[in-house]
Structure 1
């Protein structure tokens, strides 16, 4: 034994080959925490002090090689400042360079995922052998940073600048066949042959058959690129990537700049360039928020996994109501392997649902994600029916009929009589109280909400809504089914609009008040899109549908009349006036569904709706304005964001959602809250709770209860509290 640690062992074999094995104790995966990096330093020094070694093999005893650095440490590290980060990077570069400089050949056996820092470790060795099922990649740009442990230096010298730009800027996970084709690895073999293949390459290098020194020198020298090649590789890429990721995500373009600046340098100087850029990004708000987003996602997944452990598995599902929504739910279930019955009372609705499912499967085939044979096989997981014949064997039913409480109550009572006593019933409702829908059920404990977002195949969130009588078993089964469908379930308690719509509609209320005071809706859209939303409020209302928005607004107004009474009529609840949203609806402008709303819609070349300016809509909106005011961008943002953020606060205080992490992730996954801003509650933290309360108070003086802070939020502001603890990322109110 050359070295023994908690995560790393180094053993010398009879053939004088050392094997360094990553096996982090008491963890399911290997990750490079600061403690593991310290062990790696000690292990490398032990290797340097061992005489007579012929070679080194890097392996993992886990299913994955190394999943990356320990992200739970990031925000605390970022908080220590640039000098600390710089010294940390210098230290890690020293360790990795020491592996690269060992006086004998080195090879890595990549048995599973090797991402981020894990990928940067394997880039230090002279050769790499990969299992057929393994994947490698540098996804750091998705966290708002860039590879800082040599990835921006070594990868371009291995696979070429253009390929490295694609991998690093895109943050992709790359299959073994792709990695081999690019030259990132030297061989791909079945898992059972991995170690033998790695040792064979090592033996050939020791024998002089493979020139490991030449390999090593190539990684440490400048890239061999002429001026024209550099321009082609970098300038074009910067423009393309900047256009794709937008101005709010600087890391991908910064990574390209780092590769470009380091291309003409040797190892030490190129690494210094990389380190400087890493520190610059790590100290920015975007990286802080994206790392926080990752941490929140882990909280949500862990809570989902806890529910799943308690659940009876869903082996057969059913959806009531076909059409576009039912077809989308059926597709999602079938595509992930859970057979589903799709029932309706009309043949044409069944055909519409099947058409939707076939269309979505066909797109998967077009993209190379599925073969035609697999598509046919998965389509057989959907069984259309006009009767309840096989419902006695169904484990979970998703009711997805029209958003009308009386219709839903009738359908749910009907299906309850056809299923077993253990079957879980769920309703895909976006607004109707789950407690109300359970009133006529004989087994209300087996019933909960399962709110999918449209389009089902794209939107990751499912709200699982607990009614007053819903059992833990029903919630657990529904969460487990949502996870089996590849969705992110978040459990919330019952209230008008549940979590996401309850938080969204005050945002629309802010929009209506702006319209009443003469703001230009197209300008409001541009400002909010520049702020980071995928679409502005007027455009979003058109996509949602103005009829849907009016109906949901009435539900919200009834549930929260003091704050949201205006959503059912004019501003501030005055019955003799109309909001811009109601004005559109009453003039049969329903949005994209009938090609006219705040905008008119034409088909683009791909047959998708494209919004265009519509003078008729502009005149209608002028009709609801009581005054004409100019608003600055900052005023528009405040008027839109404050009510949304306040309602997220109220949902947390009311116990509708269990933690800041779940609240923020629901808004990001459900309505496209700008991810780089971290969510509504993290947005308040970034502004400062005291500053946010002061801003809300100023607005409330003019605009009323929709903008009034809660008493508890005032107490937080006075005490200097936050929603998140920045030191360890444990949500303060979780």
Structure 2
């Protein structure tokens, strides 16, 4: 067999080892299921067998889930249903074996991998930090349809199972053991022997799982209690997604029906649910995003990346300490420089807190955490910068300051040291204008908070060397980031496409729109944070600075920045940071809603308040970003639609289920987008002039994606 090996021990325990060929990870593919099906015939015919052990032949994963390529390839609902039904037949046959089944889990056990493990009578898992478990199907628009929605709640209880399925988050071994998902935690070495011993013990005496249940858990497992859980879960999903994502609601319905009709019939009903979800536009968009992010982990550069043995981070503030934190496992030494050692040490404290959190969660062993922290060295001068491979500056957004820092770094480092700027808007070419080694200068724009945000925008100038680009991309990928490489220009890509969106939201306020309506409308469109709230979060001062610069850069094509943000800044409004913004931060929310500042409407346009149709708000605000993204592609700022979509989703919160600005155009049709924009252009001015690339695609009835 190609993907599994099968042996019977002298004690008559069948050991199935999954080791999918041609791939680093094990996936539940049609080929694998066919081999398992064939192997089951052999197991069923051997009446002497006393148990079965399922384990992985990979060094760092058990089974990471279904082969998403096969799911995405299902072009019709019927094809998706047939794909799942074939999987059900094999898994149900495995579940029906009368001999004890033990799953030995080391590494990631996700999706279909966990559903396979749930069939076992007993699960052991390694105490490795690599071992995680979860059902992430909801994140690609699907439900765990291979029994997960039925077996997981019955094993660990409804209250613990629902959040795992509805969020798709993974848990580590410590938590899995607490929940009862894992029966025994062992060291990785000797897992096979432990699993065989347990299988033999189970053959002698049936294992009775002792699950401690609180009074609340017992109530929630009752028929009435389950109804409460399903009602609350539905309310939570609707509040968070506004019904824009069908998968979470499908999961709730699957669990509800499973308790009514049983596991086998519930799984049969799941076939229809899975088929409908698999061909839905939301799942197609989310699966494309998944594939794009996976593909972007590869480094396409023609030159090999160079090692960065020593990294220096300039600035120990929020961004600097975050950049240092995600770099600790990559370089032997991480210098953290600030104006004083005390300032650098303050940044180190935050890094230490982050490490402690990872240790507590099981993501790091205590010894490893201490070793990582030992790599950070605080400093207030350049005396230790010799032999530094890369310097990432995260100082204040001031062109003169960044130029001075670059000059100092060049004087203190060798010819092969990369200088990366974490600027969000200042042109890299301007920063490198007086550089002695402009070929070594690049932009690495991180998003805040750095440890959590998945995107890294890498900015190149015409002078940036290819090995520098390759090294920056490689380092960013190892930091856990999805990297997009863009060309230098005002606002690069992400800041450039965000600015018109925020500007249009402010213009709507000037015209009389209520700030709550604007944020609410964009929530309903799918944005996690409304644009007015985002301005307050980012800072009115930052917004005013960026919008002024971009407004001047693109004035020739009718782009005009609202004067509202500079005016608010003059009146002392900086947003959430000083508790003076569009919203009030000095009083508590009422029913979850933050009050608007009493003077905001007078200061922003002073127009009488009027109701705007939510569709108009959504169109005007979102199309500003979509059109600017198209212009970036037209001008060669981004390499292609894929980079533009991934950047907008991961960096700016563009609704993932819409697939990004370019997939959104494909879904709506370029002709329809151009028609809507021309309508607003006639009414509101040249800022709504559609990009030529959109007009051309509309005229030729083309799409960005095949």
TM over 0.5, shorter chain = yes
Partner of 1:596: 580
Q: 1:269-348 counterparts in 2 under 5 A?
A: 269-303=265-299, 306=300, 310-334=304-328, 339-345=333-339
Partner of 1:196: 193
Say yes or no: does 1:612 pair with 2:595. yes
Taking the aligned partners of 2:681 and 2:137, their CA distance within structure 1 comes to 41
1:663: which partner in 2?
Answer: 644
Distance 2:7 2:457 in 1: 50
Paired position in structure 2 for 1:470: 464
Q: From 53, 58, 61, give the equivalent of 2:54.
A: 58
Deviation at 1:640, TM superposition (A): 0.7
Q: Distance in 1 between matches of 2:319 and 2:220?
A: 54
1:22-421 counterparts in 2 under 5 A?
22-48=18-44, 53-63=49-59, 64-77=61-74, 79-81=75-77, 83-133=78-128, 134-206=131-203, 208-210=204-206, 225-231=221-227, 234-240=230-236, 243=239, 247-303=243-299, 306=300, 310-334=304-328, 339-345=333-339, 349-350=343-344, 353-354=347-348, 357=351, 378-421=372-415
Distance 1:503 1:140, change over 3 A: same
**Mapped partners of 2:235, 2:683: distance in 1:** 44
Range moving further from structure 2, 381-390 or 242-251: 242-251
Please show how residues 514-525 of structure 1 align to structure 2 within 5 Å. 514-525=508-519
| 2: CA distance, partners of 1:581 / 1:718 | 38
Q: In structure 2, what is the equivalent of residue 685 of structure 1?
A: 666
CA distance in 1, matches of 2:491, 2:660: 19
Q: Measure how far apart 1:680 and its partner are.
A: 1.4
Residue by residue over 1:661-714, the C-alpha shift from the partner in whole angstroms, topping out at 9 and shown as x without a partner, is 221121122222222322111222221222222222222223344322233323
- In the alignment, what sits opposite 1:455? 449
Deviation of the 1:18 alpha carbon: 3.5
**Is the contact between residue 328 and residue 334 of structure 2 (CA under 8 Å) also seen in structure 1?**
yes
Partner of 1:676: 657
Match of 1:729 in 2: none
Between the aligned partners of 1:517 and 1:708, the Cα distance in structure 2 is 20
3-state secondary structure, aligned to 1:432? coil
Cα gap change, 1:646 to 1:169, in 2 (>3 Å): same
Match of 2:435 among 434, 441, 461: 441
Cα displacement (A) at 1:379: 4.6
Output the CA distance in 1 between the equivalents of 2:588 and 2:473.
Answer: 38
Could you say what secondary structure the match of 1:319 adopts?
Answer: strand
Aligned residues: 692
Q: Name 2:490's counterpart in structure 1.
A: 496
Post-superposition shift, 1:405?
1.9
Tell me the secondary structure at the aligned position of residue 52 of structure 2: strand
The 1:336–1:539 alpha-carbon spacing in structure 2 relative to 1, beyond 3 Å, is farther
What's the offset of the Cα at 1:20?
A: 3.0
Contact 1:162 1:234 in 2 (8 A): no
User: What residue is the counterpart of 1:587 in the other structure?
Assistant: 571
**Distance in 2 (alpha carbons) for counterparts of 1:115 and 1:612:** 42
Change in Cα spacing, 1:37 to 1:554, as seen in structure 2 (3 Å) is same
Instruction: Work out whether 1:540 is the aligned partner of 2:541.
Output: no
TM superposition shift of 1:367: 6.9
Distance 1:518 1:199 in 2: 72
Is the 1:462–1:490 contact (alpha carbons within 8 Å) kept by the matching residues of 2?
A: yes
> CA 1:195/1:308 → structure 2, altered by over 3 Å: closer, same or farther?
farther
Find the residue that maps to 1:333 and give its secondary structure.
coil
Do the aligned partners of residues 379 and 582 (structure 1) sit closer, same or farther apart at CA in structure 2, a change above 3 Å counting? same
Return closer, same or farther for 1:411/1:162 CA change in 2, 3 Å cut-off. Answer: closer
| Residue equivalent to 1:218 | none
Distance in 2 between residues matched to 1:527 and 1:245, nearest whole Å: 13
Counterpart position of 1:215: none
Instruction: Specify the SS of the correspondent of 2:484.
Output: strand
Contact 1:602–1:610 under 8 Å retained in 2: no
What is the Cα deviation at residue 243 of structure 1?
Answer: 4.7
Which residue number in structure 2 is paired with residue 220 of structure 1? Answer: none
Task: Tell me if structure 1 keeps the 8 A contact 2:314–2:336.
Answer: yes
Relative to structure 1, is the Cα distance of residues 722 and 40 closer, same or farther in structure 2, using a 3 angstrom cutoff? Answer: farther
- Taking a change above 3 Å as real, the CA distance of residues 632 and 240 of structure 1, as seen in their structure-2 partners, is closer
2:523/2:529 contact within 8 Å kept = yes
Do 1:142 and 1:290's aligned partners in 2 also have CA atoms closer than 8 Å? yes
Distance 1:361 1:108 in 2: 31
Give 3-state SS (helix, strand or coil) of 1:612's partner: coil
Give yes or no for contact 2:454–2:482 (8 Å, CA) kept in 1.
yes
Secondary structure of the residue aligned to 2:103 is strand
The alpha-carbon distance between structure 1 residues 112 and 385, as it changes in their structure 2 partners (threshold 3 A), is: closer
* Cα-to-partner distance string for 1:601-646 (whole Å, 9 max, x where unaligned): 22769xxx995321211111133x5x98642111111111112111
1:507, 1:432 → 2: CA distance?
19
TM-score (norm 2): 0.89
The answer on whether the counterparts of 1:500 and 1:670 sit within 8 Å (CA) in structure 2 is: yes
**Equivalent in the alignment of 1:703:** 684
Residue 646 of structure 1 is matched in structure 2 by: 627
Per-residue deviation, residues 19-62 of structure 1 (Å, max 9, x unmatched): 33322211111112233333333333454456655543323222
For 1:556 and 1:15, locate their aligned partners in 2 and report how far apart those are by CA, in whole Å. 74
Tell me the secondary structure at the aligned position of residue 622 of structure 1.
coil
User: Does the residue aligned with 1:588 lie in a helix, a strand or coil?
Assistant: coil
Query: How much is the aligned-residue C-alpha RMSD, in angstroms?
Result: 3.3
CA distance in 2, matches of 1:445, 1:27: 37
Aligned partners of 1:612 and 1:423: how far apart in 2? Answer: 50
Q: Give deviations 1:509-532, integer Å, cap 9, x for gaps.
A: 322443443333332122112322
Distance 2:690 2:30 in 1: 41
Deviation sequence 1:434-483 (CA, Å, 0-9, x none): 12222211111111111122333332222111111111121222223323
SS at match of 1:441: coil
After superposition, give the CA deviation of every residue in 1:522-569 in whole Å (9 maximum; x if it has no partner). Answer: 3212211232223222221222222222221232133322346412xx
Using the TM superposition, give the Cα deviation of residue 501 of structure 1 relative to its aligned residue in structure 2, in angstroms.
0.7
Partner of 1:217: none
SS of the aligned residue for 2:62 comes to coil
8 Å Cα contact 1:333-1:339 kept in structure 2: no
Unpaired runs of 5+ residues, structure 1, are 213-222, 571-578, 726-734
5+ residue gaps, structure 2, are: 209-218
Structure 2 distance, partners of 1:260, 1:42, is 34
Q: How far, CA to CA, are the matches of 2:198 and 2:360 in structure 1?
A: 39
Spell out, residue by residue over 1:51-103, the C-alpha distance to the aligned partner (whole angstroms, 9 max, x if none).
655543323222222111011232332x312x333333332211111112235
Q: Secondary structure at the match of 1:425?
A: strand
**Is the Cα–Cα contact under 8 Å of residues 166 and 248 in structure 2 kept in the other structure?**
yes
- The change in CA–CA distance for 1:408 and 1:701 in structure 2 (over 3 A counts) is same
Q: Do the aligned residues in 2 keep the contact of 1:342 with 1:384 (CA within 8 Å)? A: yes
Cα contact 1:506–1:564 (8 A) shared by 2: no
The offset of 1:418, in angstroms, is: 0.8
SS for the counterpart of 2:87 is: helix
Report the Cα distance in structure 1 between the residues aligned to 2:19 and 2:4, rounded to whole angstroms.
6
